[in-house]
Structure 1
Amino acid sequence: MVMIFTLVTAVQEKLNEIVDQIKTRREEEKKQKEKEAEEAEKQLFHGTPVTIENFLSWKAKFDAELLEIKKKRMKEEEQAGKNKLSGRQLFETDHNLDTSDIQFLEDAGNNVEVDESLFQEMDDLELEDDEDDPDYSHADRESDLTD
């Protein structure tokens, strides 16, 4: 019995050592992975150091790209502008525009119908007097009457 107890105790101690080694190895691997991930993240943020030469070359490329974009826009605007006329150019070329508004107003004016029955009971309505309004002045009323 004593011998079995000694053997079982020795085996338990050995198993505990093995489990501890596995735990420490896993922790070390985890720390190593975190360290590698942190270094990889630092590498992403660590770029080329900016020097005068690097900046000037980048600036030249950037200005060239902007100039190309501006040229493309100007070409597109010119092509779109060829088809469109300004309001003044339309007015100068099309003489029907001189009288079109007047004709529209005349046509619309003849077609308006007013239902007079809606205005039969205007006396029953309580309308606010302008004299009760603090912003009202008699000069405004006189100018309205003279107009």
Structure 2
Amino acid sequence: MSTEVLLEELEVLESIYPTELQRVSERDIHIEAEPDDPADGAEAVKVTLCVSYPDGYPDVLPNLSLQAEETNFNENDVQGLINDLRAVGGENLGMAMTFTLVSHLREQLSKLVQSKADELERAEEARTRGTPVTPETFTAWKIKFDKELALKKAQEEEDKLRVLTLKEREEWKKLGTRLTGRQLFERNKGLEDETLLEEGTISVDITQYERTREEVEPEEAVTFSDSD
């Protein structure tokens, strides 16, 4: 390709991108590109397309690279954009293709930015929604909770014992081994353990002493007469 033809294309590009295009040399340019349709609420994204024209251009592809330092794009994102540009360039061999490449880049940036925004939204929803509870996750949580509770109670007891005298500690430990009334009841339902009953205690069936309502005849009334 002659220098005159390349200069003609560059002049057209400068009229289209008056502030975005920068000539680095006779055969190298940088063009800033932004998404055609930025995602709502997404950060502004701007990349720089670096184009180097070889002698065989446009019958051969130009050398392409991207500068995207101020974006959240990773290496795979950048490489994917470059691969797309090379594919489009291969479809336009023999023609001035820089404008087509920049237009395609802007479209792909819109899609990529929207994809990143959707990914962040899904991550935020998952964070606020929390982890679904299953029997397995509940069991794991219960084991952890019981362990933490036991450690906490042990620490509290240790703190209490630390300020007690030796005698008070012994009394405290004895209290801790005594069964409560409810525990005794659960342990000896039906009073089956006779060792807890006093000797000579008689079981009483209170159903034998159910009272019934009886009609009581009033006593014979005493009357007084004025005639006597």
Tell which has more relative contact order, 1 or 2 (C-alpha 8 A, sep 6+). Answer: 2
Structure with the largest fraction of helix = 1
User: Which is richer in strand?
Assistant: 2
With structure 1 as the length reference, what TM-score do the two structures score? 0.38
